[in-house]
Amino acid sequence: MRAEFQKPRGTQDILPPMSLKMEQMRRIALDCAQTFGYLPVETPVFEQTPVFLRVGESTDIVQHERYSFTDAGGVELTLRPEGTAAIARAYVENGMFNQPQPVRMCYYGPMFRRERPQALRYRQHTQFGAELYGSVYPEADAEVILLACAVVERAGLPDPMIRLNSIGCSECRPRYREALIRYYHEQRNHLCRDCQTRLNSNPLRLLDCKIDVAIREQAPDIEEFWCEDCATHYGKLTDLLSASGRQVRRDPFLVRGLDYYTRTVFEIGHPSMGSQAALFGGGRYDGLATTLDGPESTPAVGFGMGIERILSAVEQNLGIPSVTRIYVAHLPGFEGPSLLLAEQLRREGFAAESDLMGRSLKAQLRDAGRRSQIVVFVGGHEWEMDEVNVKSLQDGVQMTVKRDQLSDLLHQQFKINS
C-alpha cells in the first residue's frame, strides 16, 4: 500500500479482540461512574481554539501539540486534547451552575495530541474522565478519587495506590513558588536545559523533572507553606481516603503539569507497576470555569484516564463477556433456509450466523469450530419432517427437535441465554 494511503503517523486501528476489550473497558468505566451518580456528557470533539488557549496557555499540549485548523468559514478550531476544558465550557455554557449542586459528570471519547510517537502514546487516544462541579469540600475530592480507584479495581487491578499532594491556593502557592525559584536559582548551573527554561516559566514543573531528581531531594516542601485552609483540606482528605481502606501516601513532588490545578493533585498507580509509575491522575481546579466566563467561584475536581494506558495494565485480567454463538450449518442447496433460520434465532435474541462462502458441510463444521459453540443443521431428512439437529461442539451432545421447539431446547437443554 502506498504510504499516503496508510493511517496517519501515531494513530492505530483497533481490531478484535482488542476492540472488544476497549468496549468492555468503556462499559466498566461508565457503569462504575453511574453507580457514583456521574452521568455521561458528550461534547464535540472540536472546540473553538480560544477554549484551550485560555485553559492551558503554558502547557506543552497547547503550545506544541495542538491539532488546530481554520474551517472554510474562517473559524479557528482545535481537536480536543483533553476532556476537562470542554466539560468546563459545557458547564458554563449550559448554565449548569443553576442546577442543584454538585453536578456530577463523566465523559468518554477520543482526544487528540500531536505527540512524538512512542509506546502507548497515540495522536488519537481514548479518555474516560469524571468531573464534579460545585463543591469546595474535601469530601468531594475524596469521592472523585474513590471513583477513580473503583474503575481501576473493576477493570481487574485490585488495591490501587493513591499518591496525593496539595499544591496550595492563590494565597499560599506564590510564597512557595518564590522559595522554589530561590532554591533552584542557586542550583541553576547543575540543572538540565529544560529546567533552566522552566525556572522562569513554570517553576513547579521543576519537581517533575526526571533528570534533576537529586537536586529535588533538598527542595523546599510545599507542606511547610500551606495556609491553614489548605492544610485542613489536605488533612481531611487524606484521613477520609485512609479510612475508606484505600492505600494513600503523600508525594511532596507531585505537582502535575497543568496550570489550572488548585490544592488537591493525585495520581493513581498500582503496586505491580512500582511506586512512582502512574496510570493516570487528576485534581481540583476551582478557577477553571471562571476563566471561561463562568461564575466567580466555581469549584471543581476531576480526573482523566487514558484508556490505552490502563488497558495495557489490565488487559490480562479483563474478561470479555462471553456469548454462546450458534452456527447454522446446511446441506448443499439449503443456503437460503440456513440464512433464514439464523435470522429467526437472532430475532429470538440468540447470537447466530450461517455460512456465506458456499462451503461444504465438512468445511462449515471446521468454520463453526472457530467461531461457535453450537451447530444447528439445516437440510436432509429431518428438515422434511420439520425438524433440526442440534449439536454442542463443547461436549458433543446431539439432539433432534421440532423446528418450533428449537428456541426452548437451546434455552433449556443447552442453557443458552438469549
Q: Where along the sequence are the contacts to Zn ion (CB under 5 A)?
A: 168-169, 171-172, 192, 195, 209, 211-212, 227, 230
- Round to whole Å and give the CA distance between 236 and 115: 38
Pick the closer one to Zn ion by CB: 47 or 286: 286
Smallest distance from Zn ion to CB 304, Å: 24
Pick the closer one to Zn ion by CB: 123 or 198: 198
**What 3-state DSSP class applies to 277?**
coil
Q: Which three cell numbers stand for residue 8?
A: 496517519
Residue 8: CB partners within 8 Å, gap ≥ 6? 123
- Round to whole Å and give the CA distance between 301 and 286: 7
Smallest distance from Zn ion to CB 266, Å: 17
Pick the closer one to Zn ion by CB: 205 or 270: 205
Residue pair 162/144 in contact by the 8 Å Cβ criterion: no
Residue among 24, 25, 87 nearest 51 (CA): 87
- Round to whole Å and give the CA distance between 287 and 407: 59
Pick the closer one to Zn ion by CB: 94 or 232: 232
Smallest distance from Zn ion to CB 74, Å: 41
Pick the closer one to Zn ion by CB: 213 or 399: 213
Smallest distance from Zn ion to CB 48, Å: 33
Smallest distance from Zn ion to CB 224, Å: 12
Residue 52: CB partners within 8 Å, gap ≥ 6? 61, 62, 66, 78, 80, 81, 85
- Round to whole Å and give the CA distance between 270 and 312: 13
- Round to whole Å and give the CA distance between 228 and 417: 59
Pick the closer one to Zn ion by CB: 210 or 381: 210
Smallest distance from Zn ion to CB 213, Å: 9
Smallest distance from Zn ion to CB 256, Å: 16
Show contacts of 151-154: CB within 8 Å, 24+ apart: 151/28, 151/29, 151/32, 151/33, 151/305, 152/268, 152/270, 152/279, 152/310, 152/314, 154/28, 154/31, 154/32
Q: Which three cell numbers stand for residue 404?
A: 418450533
Pick the closer one to Zn ion by CB: 20 or 227: 227
